[in-house]
Structure formats: C-alpha cells, structure tokens
Amino acid sequence: MGLVLALAACDNTITSSEALPPLQVASLDSNAGSWRMIVLSGPTQFTVATPAAETSAAYAAELAAIKAAQSKLTTAQRRVIDYWAGGGVLRWNQIVRELVARFSLPPAPRPDGTYPVPDPENPFADPQFPFANPPYAARAYSYVAVAQYEALKTAWYWKYQYNRRSPARIDSGIRALMPVGDLPAYPSEDAVLSGVTVEMLKVLFPAAVAEITQRAAEQRNAALWSGRAAASDIAAGLALGKAVAAALVARAGADGMKNAVGNATQWKALADSAVARGEIPWVSQESPPRPPMLPNFGQVQAWLMTPTEVVTERPPAPPSTSSVQMQQEVSEVRRTVEHLTREQLAIAYKWNDGAGTYTPPGHWNDIAAEYVRDARMSEVRAARAFALLNMAMHDAAVGCWGVKFAYFNPRPVQLDPGIATVIGLPNFPAYPSGHSTFSAAAARVLSYLFPQSALDFDAMKDEASISRLYGGIHYRSDIERGKEHGAVIGGYAVRLAQVDGAN
Amino acid sequence: MRSAECARSIFLRCEPIGGKVTRGSTVRPFLLVAVFAAPLRAQTIDDGMLLPRRVLGTGLFYAHDGWNRYWEGGVRRENGNIGTVTTQSVTWVMGYGVTDRLSVMTTGPYVWTHGSQGPLHGMSGLQDVTLAAKYQLVATPFTDRGTLRAMVVGAAGIPASNYVPDFLPLSIGLASRRFSGRFTLDFRAHEGWYLTGSTAYTWRTKVTLDRPAYYTNGQLYLSNEVAMPAVFDYTVSAGYQHGPLSIPVSLSQQRALGGGDIRRQDMPFVSNRMDWVKIEGLVLYRGVRLGVSRILSGRNVGQATTLTSGVFYAFHL
C-alpha cells in the first residue's frame, strides 16, 4: 500500500484535455469564398495578385529552398511543425485564452485608495494594458475570430481562383510533414491566419507583442518547413491577413470601447439614478471601493444586432429592492450558501472563471474547441464556428452590461451582509447574470453547430448559470432572465448562420 | 509529515503535535508523564524523540494562526478584501512505541479558517491525516558531555475529507498526498542543554481541481490536475531541559522546489512556491505544551503568528 502511494507520488505529469492531433479535414469547403461576409463587402474587397506559374524558375527556387530546409530540421523546428499541425484556428484560440488569463487581473489600488486605469497608449506601464475582464475578453475573442473568418473566406476565394497546388503535391522530393490535402496553397491559409491574428492581437494585447509576433512567425515557418506552402504562398497570405486585419482594427477603434470605462461623474450618476427610482443602488464591496467594471460596455457596437435591437431585446427590470420577491430571492441565496453540498461547491468552482482566468467566454471557447477538433473542420469552417460563437458572446456581453447598468442593482451581500460567498464577488451590479447570458448565447450557437450535442450544451448552460447562486453572488432572477436574454442573442447568430451559405 | 504539512499549508495553519515521553522514565498507566519536545515544529513526528517500548501516547492540540500581511510573490502587502486571516485547528495525536528504537505516530487535524474582512466564506473540515514511523539509528555517548542521537522518520499524509483546495487563503489544506523523509541529529548534554538539527524532503502528488483550466507560473494549463512542487525544509534548535521542564527555541526554513508566484492582485494557488523562515519558542512541562511562532520572511505565504497549546498523555500497555 505504501509502495503504491509512493509510486503515485512520482507521477507529476499533467495531461492537457485539449491535445490537438494533426488536422485532417473532413471537407475542403471549397465554396467558402462565397459564404456571406460579416464586415467585408465581399471576398474581392482585398485582392491577391496572380502568382507565378508552378513551372516558373522563381517558383522552382522556392521549392528548392523547402527541400534544403527539410534536409536539416532541428528537433525544435519539428516541434513547431507538430504544434501548428493541430490547426491554426484552434491553436490561436488556445493562445488567445492564455493571453486573456494572463491579463485578467484588475489594477492594484494606489496608496490613496483610487485605482489607475490601464492605458492602451502606454501598455507596459503599471497597470499593464489591458485588464481583460469578461466583456473585454468577449470582445477580444470575437475580434480575433471575425477577423480570421473574414480573412480565410477571402483566402479561399483566391485559392480557387488560382488553384496553385501545395509544394508537397507538386514535387515528390518534398515531404508533407503536416497533413497536406488538395486545398490550393496560394495564398497560404496558415500565413493568412498568422497575419490577421498578429495584427488583431497587437491591438488587443499590446504588452504581449513579442510573444505574439514570435508565434505568428512560427506558424508561417511551420507551413513552409512542412511542405504545405511555398514562400510566395506565405508572402501573399501574410499580406492578405494584414490587410483584412486593418479593416477590423479600424472598426475596433470606433466601436465605443474607448468610452466603456466611464468617469467619476458617470459612476455617481448611475447610483443617483437608482436612488431616484427608489431603489438601493449597487455599491462596490471591495476595499478600497473600486469603480464599477466597464459601465458603458452596453453601448459598444454589437456584431449581430442593431443598437435598437440591443435595447428592445433587453429583459424587463429586476424585482424592486424593496419588494417581497426580492426578499425571497435574497433568502434563497442565504439558504443556499449556508447549506452547500460538496457537489454544489464543485459546480461553483468549475464555472467561476473569475479574475486571473480565461473568463466565461474563454470557458465556452474551451468547450467549443473540442467539438471543432473532433469534427475535423477545415480552417475556414472552424473560423466560422468560433466567429459565430464569439460574436454571440460579445453581443451577450453588450446586452447584459446594458441591462446591468440601466438598473444598477445591488449584489445579495449588500441586501444581507450575512451572505458569505465561496467565490470572489464581481465588482459590478447583479442583474442579470453575465454567466447565464454568455452560457445561453453560447449553448444556442453550439447546439446549432453540433446538434447531436444540444442536450449536453443545455445541461452545461444550466449548470454554469446555477453555479452563480451556489457561489452566493446572484439571485434567481439574475439567472433566469440572463438565460432567456442569452438565448435570444444567440438566436441572432444562428439566423445569420442558417443563410450564410456554409450549410 | 507535520513539517511538510505545515510547510505547504502556511496560509492555513498546521497544528503542532505534542511532545513525547522521556526515555527511561517510569511510566504508570493513566498517568500524565513528563514530556520533552524537541525543536521547532516540535511536533511529535518531527522532534527527535521516541516513545519507549509498549507505551501508547495520545494528545490533543489546539493552534491559532493569524496574519494580515502576506507575500504576493516577493512583495509584502495587506489586502482589505480579506483582512486578517485566522486559522484554527484541533489535532488529535496518537503514538506507540513498537520497540525502544521504533515508534509509530498518527495525527488528524480539524481546521477552520476565517477572513476578517470582505464577503468570502471561511472553510472548515477534516484536513490531512498523517502516518509516520520514526527509527533511531544510533544513540551514543559523545565526548563526555552528553548523548548524540540520530533518527530517521518516514511519513505519509493524505487528505481525510474531500475539502476544496482551490480557495486559498481560506482553503483548509492543499489536498495533496505527501511522502517525506526526515533525518534528525540531536545532542543532549548532561547539564541539560541540547542542540538539534533536522532536514526533510517531501514529495507531493498532483492535486485535482473542480475546474478544467488554470493559469500559474506563466502558463495556461488546460487540465484540472495541478503538479505540486516538492518541498525541502531544515531546522536548527537549541534548548534547555531541567527535570520535567524543557524550553527550546528554533529557527526553520522551508523552500519549495518549483511552483509559480502569486501574481499582482491574484489569489494564492495550490502549487505556488511557498517559502518561509520561521522562529519558534516552546515551553514543555510534563504533558503540557505551549508555543509561539512567527514567520520572519517568506514568499507566497502569510506572515503568520501562531500560538499552539496541547496536552499529551502516555500509558504503558
């Protein structure tokens, strides 16, 4: 027995739950160039120049360079190839989740009790930019996903205009070290992804620019060394990716995020407005008190909904803080927290995704990734999946935050100071629950993409939502209205997908 | 063993265990007997003493641990969102002298935690049960001033309940299984003073969380399993014993051999690199033990002051 225990102590290896085997796509999705665009006017908004012929001398030189590179690959280079063989969209999704987790800690207070605000123009200062809280993270995931999606659809269009084959297909002396199918190679989808993603991430996570550019370069190298793409495939792809990114970066600069933090006058006005309505206003429970998180995020431009729709789809007002219903809901929170089972506690922690993590939208990306991987989606179809999912969650954040700050209602612990929480208390109003909204929107989209698992997504959505009651930080109304709201928002993504030509 | 347990659970408190029966003293059934404690963590498992053959000892110990400053990585700070973190524990200890050179010992603590500020819920429960075997390699007259003894201890600890490790600093433990080996050298002069040195290495198994991913040490891990760094500790102490009274003072250090730092504004995590230097003073009189210790410096731990007390009884079977 002691020996068994001792041996058990020796195994300290951690197995990732998201291992990515080399991606062998189920379908080339050759018509992806005709799928409906989100932001671009069409696949010809950006042009890709005609490539040199497969028989040209210039191209022959490129093939020779690949052979030379393949003849002296180091172990490190092979690891880079194996890493990116798992799929570019999936790998970047893992990387963005890591960046969010790295930057999702709030600024520390100054000695005088005030809080500094991260400055995008000075990202390496203290505090670093950004503070990747859930709305910021939802926005980041969505910009990366949409940019990749638009760029890949464009790439697919031009690939099938030129139909230039992969080096490993053209020259038998070049080995395919990553799966190389019949997808035309020019422009290189790996290079497109590297270009579009690096430009988006430089704006979203500027303090990580060194790591981001290195990863992007590795992706292009992997495409080259593996025989999948020649240097000109890569150059064209990189240029296309960057061009598409510029369009998305321009949108990001004007989407209202700049004003999301608000100022002291606005924060005070929110509290005064709640009091004027006869309600108890939200008050920060942090020490020292911290301004509410992104009170103007509800005015950021949604992907799928017009500003009018964002407002009309909102759930009704929460129960008044002086109502009997509110008293009952507060009591329910208190009773729940005081009688938590170990299983309920586990659920609270499973879905918490608080400060220092990849946040709730990241958790749903984590869930989606395994389904995308197992479906062996092509890069453009995978990009579509993540774009639909993350646009829905971004708009869920916009919708939810709009309601939170319209009503500015207090957390349970404010109405009953005896309620102790088993997870951290978020620093913003309660109604409705962000987790519930994100989860319902995500479950709606994933159930459309993977209908066989719709019941599983439904169960996850319910568990993620109720976890907030177990945590002691939300009322029942926050959860129920949040789930309804999220499902409605997810519906916008599903309706878009049903007619986008990818079915 | 207690030390390793104590080590990793510096955010929480590990209760010290009581003293031991003196060698060669006459023991009658159901009588409280004099106990000596060895240095520092002066817990029965870690001190340099054995129970005589066929003597059964048992005791109950209470500890109170509190801190309001802690090290976030290497930066010491307070945090108004948690205030002062208090950990209390009651530990039951039992030991048995198998032979005059071999003793076995087991301890089981019940722990409860509390933060004085902020909305976070304290936690409580049965923490980790430890089983240890102590073997005296040698006990020999040394110079003519006293006796030199060398001892080895092997211990294994396992969580005794399914508590949550992922809510530091309010979790009651780290939920890892531990295996440690300790070597102790002790010199006891005829006049009553003594010197002890001790060192131990502790292996720790993976911890399973309730969540599917976590970020630590610069990386996002897409897994619910956390690899725990091994821990190394050493202690030196000096004491004076006169009759049934013994007063040791000790200095000890723990170093984790891996693990990440707590990031700015983040909560602590199970696999953090928890290092500390601690000073402790004990008063042992017959079966009663009183102690106070203070963390002098550390990394990813609270700057805790700990008060310990306990009673220990021995019976001859």
Residue of A422, A423, A425, A467 to mutate when probing chain B, most B C-beta within 10 A: A422
Which residues from chain A sit within 8 angstroms of residue B264, using beta carbons? 105, 108
pLDDT score at B42 = 34
- Phi, psi torsion values for B307, nearest 5 degrees: -110, 135
Which residues from chain A sit within 8 angstroms of residue B226, using beta carbons? 14
Quick one: what percent of chain B has pLDDT higher than 70?
Answer: 85
pLDDT score at A16 = 82
pLDDT score at B314 = 86
CB contact under 8 A, A286 and B81: yes
- Of the listed ranges B31-45, B87-101, B137-151, the one predicted with least confidence: B31-45
pLDDT score at B21 = 31
pLDDT score at A7 = 53
pLDDT score at A345 = 97
Judged by DSSP in three states, B44 sits in: coil
CA of A361, closest CA in chain B: separation in Å?
13
Half-sphere exposure for B272 (CA within 13 Å, toward CB): 31
CB contact under 8 A, B119 and A420: yes
DSSP letter, residue A395: H
Mean pLDDT computed over B238-253: 94
Mean pLDDT computed over B231-247: 94
The tokens 């439904």 sit on which residue?
A458
Cα–Cα distances in angstroms (integers) from residue B39 to residues A249, A291, B52, B58, B302, in the given order: 64, 50, 19, 19, 22
Q: Does the structure show a pLDDT above 60 at B25?
A: no
ipTM: 0.95
Q: Which amino acid is at A330?
A: V
CB contact under 8 A, B119 and A285: yes
Which residues from chain A sit within 8 angstroms of residue B121, using beta carbons? 337, 420-422, 472
CB contact under 8 A, B228 and A12: yes
pLDDT score at A242 = 98
Q: Could you tell me if B225 and B213 are in contact, meaning their C-beta atoms sit under 8 angstroms apart?
A: no
Cα–Cα distances in angstroms (integers) from residue A52 to residues A30, A45, A231, in the given order: 22, 22, 12
Q: Which of A310, A330, A305 is nearest to A318 (CA)?
A: A330
Which residues from chain B sit within 8 angstroms of residue A425, using beta carbons? 118-119
For chain A, which residues score pLDDT lower than 70?
1-11
Which residues from chain B sit within 8 angstroms of residue A102, using beta carbons? 215, 218, 220
The tokens 């988006």 sit on which residue?
A200
Kindly write down the DSSP assignment for every residue of A380-399, as one continuous string: HHHHHHHHHHHHHHHHHHHH
Q: Does the structure show a pLDDT above 60 at B232?
A: yes
Which residues from chain A sit within 8 angstroms of residue B222, using beta carbons? 16-18, 94, 366
Cα–Cα distances in angstroms (integers) from residue B204 to residues B42, B142, B161, B199, B226, in the given order: 22, 37, 17, 17, 11
Q: Which amino acid is at B23?
A: R
CA of B105, closest CA in chain A: separation in Å?
15
Distance CA A163, CA A141 (A): 32
Residue of A nearest to B157 (CA): A5
Q: Does the structure show a pLDDT above 50 at B6?
A: no
Tens digit of each residue's pLDDT (9 = 90 or more) over B45-103? 777 678 889 999 999 999 999 999 999 999 999 999 999 999 999 999 999 999 999 99
CB contact under 8 A, B265 and A108: yes
Q: Does the structure show a pLDDT above 70 at B40?
A: no
